[in-house]
Amino acid sequence: MSQPRVLRHEDTDDLVAQAASHLLHTLLQLQETQETVHLCLTGGRTANRIYERFAELVPDSGLRPEALHLWWSDDCFVSTTDPDRNALQALSILARTLHLSSAQTHPMPASDGKADPGEAAYAYAHDLGETTFDVCLLGLGADGHVASIFPGHPSHEQGSSLAIGVTDSPKPPAERISLTLRAINRSQRVWVLVTGQDKAAAVARALQGDQLLPATQVRGELETLWFVDESAAEDLPFYRCGL
């Protein structure tokens, strides 16, 4: 498991631009040596802004869409067309310039296809199987949650499952589907994307090793990067280096 490395950015705009550029560069590098690349997406305003910028960079970049598979770290258990679905939001953005077949996109099951979140999670875990993510993107909640794994909640309990159904989420809607820490930590690279002063305390606690927070426990096998803007990093120590 890799140790976390923090990439501090001047503001949200800078973080969005740099994260999108780094994502494209990483995918291009991976496609030089791999037939298939697996990318796990997250939801939220910052992530969607990164996808917007990424979509702008794709044309003429040399990225081969046919080699890319998309997955999700969590989603709301709502209908397929519900605007709250992370998958719907992301695909609506990425489809403008990234042309993927249905076989290459793996959204979590919706409520109009499965009876309950538990059944949906079981189906998603089966779909995932032995797949490992080359890059897994995660957001961070002010309470220190990642995906739909919440501190002091049954979703945080360690187990052997790759995905779980959540029926009493502290964050609405109450019904959700989430990858587990086990599935996330199989990733080669885990990138945590954080903006805003309201996340500063959780960022500091997680990076200081507070095991009560799910965010503390996410690690990539090769790389764990925290992309944070200055507001989210305000509780972190700052070292000024000079020659």
Mean pLDDT of 95-114: 95
Sort strands 223-229 and 163-166 into parallel, antiparallel or unpaired: unpaired
Mean pLDDT of 107-126: 95
CA–CA distance, 50 with 40 (Å, rounded to integer): 14
Q: What is the model's pLDDT at position 96?
A: 95
Domains and CATH numbers, the chain: 11-23+36-58+76-229 (3.40.50.1360)
Q: Each residue of 132-177: pLDDT tens digit?
A: 999 999 999 999 999 999 999 999 987 889 999 999 999 999 999 9
Instruction: Specify the pTM.
Output: 0.95
Q: At what angle do helices 45-57 and 12-31 cross, to 10 degrees?
A: 50
Q: What is the model's pLDDT at position 238?
A: 67
CA–CA distance, 234 with 98 (Å, rounded to integer): 36
Q: Does 192 have pLDDT greater than 70?
A: yes
Q: Does 3 have pLDDT greater than 60?
A: yes
Mean pLDDT of 7-31: 98
Share the mean pLDDT of the chain.
95
Q: Does 113 have pLDDT greater than 90?
A: no
3-state secondary structure of 200: helix
- Tokens at residue 129, please? 């199987």
- Tokens at residue 21, please? 């550029």
Mean pLDDT of 205-226: 98
Q: Does 241 have pLDDT greater than 50?
A: no
